[in-house]
Structure 1
């Protein structure tokens, strides 16, 4: 049975195609619940006739449809009357049932179909969320962080917009995401958008033996043996740095080459003639240096053999730093073995450069130090700011050097003989170092010097806070409350 109105209905909505019953002001004609409650039951059916269901469907199909302008309510019009069309709707199939979610006393309401958008999460999986069903209060109850849940629910409602509330710490919000079953890819993507430095996935060799060797040398936290190996490696690095420093102390300085002379008689006169130049194999520094280099070469070769990808290994900057750290000693020994002559740093400028490259061993500590890794990542993430600082400094040096040169051009015994010669003064003044080896003497020069120092302070003050912020974010991500690992 269906009830259909045989009279002219009165609806308080403006319809497309004309006004109903001549009411243009949209007066509300729908009875209120109080009016219905005061009427007898029989009066509620007045104006309706009872017709069979099949006949009702036939009538509705033959009528022309109208749509209300404000909410799109579909109405049928025909033979001078309009009727709402009852569309087929299955709440069970559409999952439009409302559910209540209680998070530590704060209740949220949403539709079931909203949660079902993410079936792999806790709220979207019926078999998982039923564990939190409270039949007494007819709601789901979670003893979790309340301010975080509004952002989690909004992710379901918005179709993928995830934003941590301002008052919620990042680490707490990430814990809530993990609890409610968000996958790791989504969490990593969110961390990346918030500036987190994510740990890269380690490639491992397929061979079990090579895998064990690679983890022993590359992953100190994988086992006790790997930790001991890391300690040994750091000890050799520190020893090599100490050798590099102490061999330059005058009290301990030893020549790396030994010069051998012999007496030669020529024209009834005896002269000393150089007979051979050999490596000072008895030097304690040479012995310790050889041991350290042997360890570094052994470690580098084993890592190359056991690495999961040769191409990735060769592209790594850290591995090239390891190569540069052992190159000076190897070249020194190989040159002697090939030519038979010991060539120290005084014999060639190229060897001086090679010996200076030994200082790169300090960078090997970055592999075992979180602090150095954070510093390196801060510099890498602040390339734009550093470039901006260099550009500001360059412009300031040109401007203030020119101004200082012409300001001191007529001063007797001026320290500024040319604009390029004034560059050094501008750099040390703008960076607030101020060696005092060059200084203005005239009034105009001192005024220019004042503006130079103020310009240098502004030049440093603009990019430095951004770099400090990057460092704090990275440091907290590694060691603080926003730990990523």
Structure 2
């Protein structure tokens, strides 16, 4: 029985397992849609009743799926504390926490229901390639993040010394300057904080050039890793 359930729940090489996967994917999408509909103000009581029924049904199915995956797992602790195990748990947690409690006081916890959409990753081959690519390029990504953090701090220090006296209300400290550094290096530039001194403007020009490069680097790293992942899959 355990092997039979495992062939349906975990593998995707038979008709029943494919039907199961499609059913779970459809239920995830329906659940996400109903979550969005719940935010519409002044819903009719009938609509709220339907949404509650859909939520009950979804949670029952997701809970049963979670229990079955624990049951068929070769190592139950490894599954429970794995990425997908945690996602499956967080997807049903808000519902059970809401028993006997005013949902308005647990409003933030309701957003945990959005973790259900991450359950789709399990059934998506393209996302599996992406996950593999991220894992293979994790050292390069961590190095990129480390260098980026250094550049953000360097930018905050630089603009602080250029603009502090001219704009003490915006650049009163290096910590306040970090906001400008982040939006400039990411090339977002909201325009709420900007340099007015000549030195600050020249410094900003160079930071913007560096920011353009920073945006392109992770794209190249992940694209290269994705290409390698797909090529290995085709070879196998």
Counterpart among 213, 221, 235 of residue 466 in structure 1:
221
Larger fraction in strand: 1
Deviations 1:187-237 (A, max 9, x none): xxxxxxxxxxxxxxxxxxxxxx2211110111122x212111111111111
Distance 1:412 1:331 in 2: 48
Question: Are residue 250 (structure 1) and residue 41 (structure 2) matched?
Answer: yes
Find 1:327's aligned residue among 81, 93, 104.
93
Equivalents in 1 of 2:98, 2:217: separation in Å?
A: 47
Distance 1:483 1:343, change over 3 A: farther
In the alignment, structure 1 residue 225 sits paired with structure 2 residue 7 = no
- Structure 1 partner of 2:208: 453
SS in 2 for 1:220: coil
Aligned-pair Cα RMSD in Å = 2.4
Within-5 A mapping of 1:257-276: none
Residue 406 and residue 307 in structure 1: after superposition, are their counterparts in 2 closer, same or farther (change >3 A)? closer
Task: Tell me the TM-score normalized by structure 1.
Answer: 0.45
How has the CA–CA distance of structure 1 residues 472 and 226 changed in structure 2, closer, same or farther, with 3 Å as cutoff?
A: same
What number of residue pairs does the alignment pair up?
Answer: 236
CA distance in 2, matches of 1:304, 1:440: 56
Q: How far apart are 1:410 and its partner, in Å?
A: 3.0
CA distance in 2, matches of 1:387, 1:475: 22
CA deviations on 1:343-375 (whole Å, 9 max, x unpaired) are 123x2xxx2442222111111001110111122
Give secondary structure in 1 for the equivalent of 2:98.
Answer: helix
CA distance in 2, matches of 1:400, 1:391: 14
Q: In the alignment, which residue of structure 2 is the partner of 1:428?
A: 183
Alignment correspondent of 1:21? none
Q: Quick one: distance in 2 between partners of 1:308 and 1:400? A: 50
The within-5 A match list for 1:12-411 is: 209-221=1-13, 223-250=14-41, 252=43, 283-333=49-99, 336=100, 342-345=101-104, 347=105, 351-411=106-166
More divergent stretch after superposition (460-469 vs 361-370): 460-469
- Closer, same or farther: CA 403–331 of 1 in aligned 2, 3 Å: same
State the alpha-carbon separation in 1 of the partners of residues 127 and 210 from structure 2: 31
| Contact 1:414-1:441 at 8 Å conserved across structures | no
Look at both structures and tell me which one has the larger radius of gyration over its CA atoms: 1
Q: For residues 306 and 398 of structure 1, do their structure 2 counterparts lie closer, same or farther at Cα, with a shift above 3 Å needed?
A: closer
2:38–2:48 contact (8 Å) kept in structure 1: no
SS at match of 2:187: coil
Distance 1:352 1:378, change over 3 A: farther
Unaligned runs of 5+ in 1: 1-208, 255-279, 337-341
Q: Which runs of 5+ in 2 are unaligned?
A: none
